[in-house]
Structure 1
Amino acid sequence: MKDAPAGATAKARLASLGGIARTPLRAASACGVTGGVLVLPQAALIALCLQRALVDGAAPVTLLAPLAALLATLLLRAGLGWTSRRLADHAVERIRVDLRACVARGLVARGPVWVRSQQSGALAERMGTHVDALEGYFGGFVPLRAEVVAVPLAILLAVFVVDRTVGLVLLLTMPLVPVFTMLVGWGAQAASQRQLQALTRMGGHFADRLRGLGLIRLYGRGETELTGIRAAAEELRVRSLRVLRIAFLSSAVLEFFASLSVAMIALYLGLTYLGMLDLRDTSLSLGVGVFCLLLAPEFYAPLRRLATHYHDRAAALAAMDELALLLDDPARPTLHATGGAVPARPGLLVSAHGAALRHPAATHDALHDITLHLQRDQHIALTGASGDGKSTLLEALAGWLPAHAGTLQRASGLRIGYAPQRPFLFAGTLRDNLRMARPDASDADLERAADAAQVMRFATRLPDGLDTVIGERGFGLSGGEARRVALARVFLRDPDLLLLDEPTAFLDPDTEARVLRAITQFARGRAVVMATHRAAAQAAMTGRWHVRGRRLQVEEGTP
């Protein structure tokens, strides 16, 4: 997707998305227009057959040629319609895949700190339902736009050639249809946007409650949460019915004017045949009347189909407004309030002076007045009470949280490996989860990293070793095993700076000693900052930073 500028309108975003599949969309429109124009020879052949059979009394054998031509026309129209549908579906699939990739890139660009502040269910709705809301627009509305212009114009010219009165009726009634459709549809986008917002709220509410189902049952909040879900579902029902009401009203307006014009043409033809109305220079033949009467409903057919997709356009515009949160380029957080890269100094990786850290939407700093210099071969134990900000500092060093004030700078090209306190493991094999750190890693490199992080100690006991499938969020592994997988990822990444958040928690003393030994061996020539409460882990480091009272106390030497 060609990125639309920040703050772009929903229409500009839709146009940018359409550029991804411009060729199949144009081909679908061309097939639709060609199939629509073929209604002219179709109606002419039907009228010719009726004129010859009922008026001229021609022999049945003379009708074989026009009937064969009629059959070929019908088959060609069906083939063009099928081709147009296939091309439109192909374009929609390309657009959905590209848009989901753009949304995913938007999530990655905003970083894990921002993602954690959002409802996961709401983000899932944007990736799913909101993207799917574009199907009707690109699969139906866009290919029909050219057909709505070209086909009625061709029919109007053909009808004017054979009967000016019928052509005049079509010409005068045609503007009424789009005018009243637009008047009805003005509220469609707002209604669709409110419906999508209600769907997002319900999706986020339900997904979060489902994830916390165990706690809800434990604390006896089941009935209360069910009441909240019922209220969200009721709001969604009301919003959906309002959208349907507008869609039905739009279709009803179109059907009314289309039926009215067809009735006027039928009345004119009937009165002319009965001799009660004479507006022609020549007599009206049966073939001409049938030709005009067959084309009258076809004149409005593209508009009818467009009306069925008109609310799809409104839904697509509403969806793009909702997706703008993820599609707009975020204000890229810098790791410093002032200044640039770390000043040239041999071995210096990170430098901070008077830095303050604040989480998004927080009213006060989590840490302030941070001054530090982190060099290669520094192995730091980060200590402090729970909740004092150790994980916050690690996130800032990792580049996830910008400095709210002061400076926090990193060396250019610094490679960082971060093993969080609660690492996320995806559904799949252990090998796949490890390979995320370096997709091009060989099996030998991967197994060395796993062995160093003591993953092989428990993996060898699993049915398929590293190829054992685990569930989402590491279901099937203990907390200590999940942390060892995260540590193996860090080793495989081969970083300059290791940021480790409680890597030895939940480990027995023997496994902890092995893990700490592996960390110190791997960390030679690298810097390590390890948040920990464990005495053995602190003893393995050569320096200590202590967090207390929202300040960082830097202590060099052995703790």
Structure 2
Amino acid sequence: MTSPTPGADPAGPQRRLRSRWLDAQLVEARQRHRVAVACQVLAGWLWVPQAAAIAWGFDAVLFSGGGLEALPRPLALLAAALLLRVLLGWCGQRASADVVETTIEGMRAGLARAAIARGPVWLRGERSGALVALSTGHVEATAPYYGGYLVARAEVACVPVVLLAAVFAADWIVGLVLLLTAPLAPVFMMLIGMGAETAGRRQLAALARAGAHFTDRLRGLDLIRVYGQGEAELAQVGAATETIRERSLRVLRIAFLSSAVLEFFASVSVALVAVYFGFTYLGMLDLRGTPLSLSTGLFCLLLAPEFYAPMRRLAAHYHDRANALAAVAEIESTFGALPALERDAPAQPLTPPAAAPAVHVEAVTLRHPGAAAPVLRDVSFEVPAGARLALVGPSGAGKSTLLDALAGWLAPEQGRIALPPATRIALAGQRPWLFHGSIADNLRLGAPDATPDEIHAAARVAQVLRFVERLPDGLETVIGERGFGLSGGEARRVALARALLRRPQLLLLDEPTAFLDPHTEADLLAALGAHLDGCTVVVATHSDAVMRWADAVWRVPTPGAPR
């Protein structure tokens, strides 16, 4: 599905599809949403007895001559209506808050699962700042839709009908005035709202771009300072901030305009009702043919503003719908289609293979997402169970891509990769991601329940202890994000130890001995050879020592080379 560019007015079917996608996220909070709607609707219906109690009390005391003795019953009815409305309002707010919290939490988790499902290859092509903006600002933009717009929409559908029926029962002329003026407000609100989604999407797109830009620049702050581009980057941040300010004000203008239009029509309609009663009581207008009691007039005047109140609230929340649809459009644009946000489900247990697996690669063609041509075409080879295979070829030939495919991160365009189900796989790549924290914490990602002895053993095999012993706190030494504080070779050894802790049945290594001196490389290969019994190994390398260590060598075919 191709998403329209920001600023384009999406077609009606596409807007409905996004709206259905938004509503589908309520699946876990559907019951609480119904509670919130029911509380709001019941509170609106209670305006009928509340207005009747006020009109009854005034009529009894001021016009019927009943005095203060006539007040207890209307006051009791008024107190009961007010108390019920307060309780319903409180329950509705609690339920609505729970709906928003549950739905937003589920949406964020679902987007994370959808991103993970697309694999690291897809993630590498996305700006991390933009993905963070999706799960923070964009998801947060949908909160008022669930907490405000949907409830107001249900209230508009249910409350005015009951109030109109009550007014018609009291005076058909006032009911006719309300009935004829009611459609004007939604029509004008829809006309104004046509540009709300476009403005909201432009605002969210500006926020996402600014967030991604700022995050990327923070990561490369040292490089920016080295090249003396600090002032230029500050100017770009300032320009992005100004763009956000302008687009936010456009959204606010639309929101205020829609509310002002509805307030205008509601005020005019209430004024018409008031003028009608005024002229009737003065004897200047007689459309009924029968006398109009003051209690009837007061009852209708109290209900007339509340007849429009749900529509005013809907107008106040109408831009929330536009913002939510704009956020969904940005999510659709990032993922290429609206992702199916799967909920947590019990995993079906799979029995892992009892021993090291054999690997069969059959006529596989691999293409990076968005690439014009495949990086590998029609490649086939086998790795016997427990064997070590070295992938050899020039840089850019596709060795790392092939390892990604073996790890399940990249699906073949053609052909297949056959592995036993539930095979435990570990990959130590050329550019391992190390988190801010201690070296031991980074190792525990491979096995969160690993004992100190197991961590120490994996670090010894991967030759991590060679450089850790020189650090002030050993394995508890804190390193920065992306392994700041370690050399490239040291970071790769930490990643290798982390992979070994996983106790893999298939171990994939990408240039594991790069940047190592011959003595350290020999020690690493000897330790791996003794440690990896019962494990199938596929290693991409340029090293002659690694080729000699492997049981077999497979040369990655380059374009134009004979097979």
TM range (shorter): 0.7 to 0.9
1:122, CA displacement in angstroms?
1.2
| Pick aligned residue for 1:426 from 435, 446, 450 | 435
Q: Work out whether 1:74 is the aligned partner of 2:68.
A: no
Q: Quote the residue 1:187 is aligned against.
A: 195
Q: Work out whether 1:272 is the aligned partner of 2:280.
A: yes
Contact 2:152 2:317 in 1 (8 A): no
1:171, CA displacement in angstroms?
1.0
1:375, CA displacement in angstroms?
2.0
Once the two structures are superposed, what CA deviation does each residue of 1:523-550 show, in whole Å capped at 9, x if it has no partner? 2232223334556545543444455855
1:163 to 1:468, Cα distance in 2 relative to 1, 3 A? farther
Task: Please give the alpha-carbon distance, in whole angstroms, between the structure 2 residues aligned to 1:71 and 1:552.
Answer: 90
| Pick aligned residue for 1:322 from 317, 324, 330 | 330
1:488, CA displacement in angstroms?
2.6
Further displaced range: 421-430 or 454-463: 454-463
Q: Work out whether 1:392 is the aligned partner of 2:401.
A: yes
Contact 1:194 1:239 in 2 (8 A): yes
Further displaced range: 314-323 or 348-357: 348-357
Q: Work out whether 1:46 is the aligned partner of 2:57.
A: no
Task: Please give the alpha-carbon distance, in whole angstroms, between the structure 2 residues aligned to 1:168 and 1:421.
Answer: 76
1:163, CA displacement in angstroms?
1.4
Equivalenced residues, count: 533
Alignment of 1:342-381 (within 5 A): 349-352=358-361, 355-368=364-377, 370-381=379-390
1:368, CA displacement in angstroms?
4.7
| Pick aligned residue for 1:114 from 103, 119, 122 | 122
1:29 maps to a residue whose letter is V
Contact 2:36 2:96 in 1 (8 A): yes
Task: Please give the alpha-carbon distance, in whole angstroms, between the structure 1 residues aligned to 2:260 and 2:203.
Answer: 22
Contact 2:15 2:325 in 1 (8 A): no
Alignment of 1:430-441 (within 5 A): 430=439, 432-439=441-448
Q: Quote the residue 1:298 is aligned against.
A: 306
Contact 1:547 1:553 in 2 (8 A): no
1:318 maps to a residue whose letter is A
| Pick aligned residue for 1:177 from 178, 182, 185 | 185
1:8 to 1:77, Cα distance in 2 relative to 1, 3 A? closer
Q: Quote the residue 2:495 is aligned against.
A: 486
1:462 to 1:301, Cα distance in 2 relative to 1, 3 A? farther
Q: Quote the residue 1:340 is aligned against.
A: none
Q: Quote the residue 2:163 is aligned against.
A: 155
Q: Work out whether 1:453 is the aligned partner of 2:458.
A: no
Contact 1:427 1:469 in 2 (8 A): yes
Task: Please give the alpha-carbon distance, in whole angstroms, between the structure 2 residues aligned to 1:347 and 1:436.
Answer: 22
Q: Quote the residue 1:30 is aligned against.
A: 38
Task: Please give the alpha-carbon distance, in whole angstroms, between the structure 2 residues aligned to 1:220 and 1:513.
Answer: 43
2:134 maps to a residue whose letter is R
Q: Quote the residue 1:499 is aligned against.
A: 508
Once the two structures are superposed, what CA deviation does each residue of 1:246-294 show, in whole Å capped at 9, x if it has no partner? 2222112211110110000111111122221122343333322221111
Q: Quote the residue 2:240 is aligned against.
A: 232
Task: Please give the alpha-carbon distance, in whole angstroms, between the structure 1 residues aligned to 2:481 and 2:73.
Answer: 67
2:529 maps to a residue whose letter is T
Once the two structures are superposed, what CA deviation does each residue of 1:146-179 show, in whole Å capped at 9, x if it has no partner? 2112211111111111111111111111111212
SS at match of 1:9: helix
1:497, CA displacement in angstroms?
2.1
| Pick aligned residue for 2:150 from 136, 139, 142 | 142
Q: Work out whether 1:244 is the aligned partner of 2:252.
A: yes
2:384 maps to a residue whose letter is Q
Contact 2:55 2:295 in 1 (8 A): yes
Task: Please give the alpha-carbon distance, in whole angstroms, between the structure 2 residues aligned to 1:459 and 1:56.
Answer: 95
Q: Quote the residue 2:292 is aligned against.
A: 284
1:141, CA displacement in angstroms?
1.2
SS at match of 2:410: coil
Task: Please give the alpha-carbon distance, in whole angstroms, between the structure 2 residues aligned to 1:456 and 1:432.
Answer: 15
Once the two structures are superposed, what CA deviation does each residue of 1:69-103 show, in whole Å capped at 9, x if it has no partner? 42342232122112111101101111111111211
Contact 2:356 2:534 in 1 (8 A): no
Q: Quote the residue 1:19 is aligned against.
A: 27
Once the two structures are superposed, what CA deviation does each residue of 1:436-494 show, in whole Å capped at 9, x if it has no partner? 33456666655544454345666678788767665543445554443333223322322
The answer for unaligned runs of 5 or more in structure 1 is 1-5, 331-345, 555-559
Task: Please give the alpha-carbon distance, in whole angstroms, between the structure 1 residues aligned to 2:561 and 2:472.
Answer: 46
2:110 maps to a residue whose letter is C
Q: Work out whether 1:528 is the aligned partner of 2:522.
A: no
Contact 2:149 2:320 in 1 (8 A): yes
Task: Please give the alpha-carbon distance, in whole angstroms, between the structure 1 residues aligned to 2:167 and 2:472.
Answer: 77
1:553, CA displacement in angstroms?
9.9
Task: Please give the alpha-carbon distance, in whole angstroms, between the structure 1 residues aligned to 2:317 and 2:470.
Answer: 58
1:259 to 1:462, Cα distance in 2 relative to 1, 3 A? farther
1:51 maps to a residue whose letter is D
1:490 maps to a residue whose letter is A
Further displaced range: 248-257 or 223-232: 223-232
Task: Please give the alpha-carbon distance, in whole angstroms, between the structure 1 residues aligned to 2:161 and 2:141.
Answer: 31
1:442 to 1:37, Cα distance in 2 relative to 1, 3 A? farther
1:508 to 1:87, Cα distance in 2 relative to 1, 3 A? farther
1:41, CA displacement in angstroms?
1.5
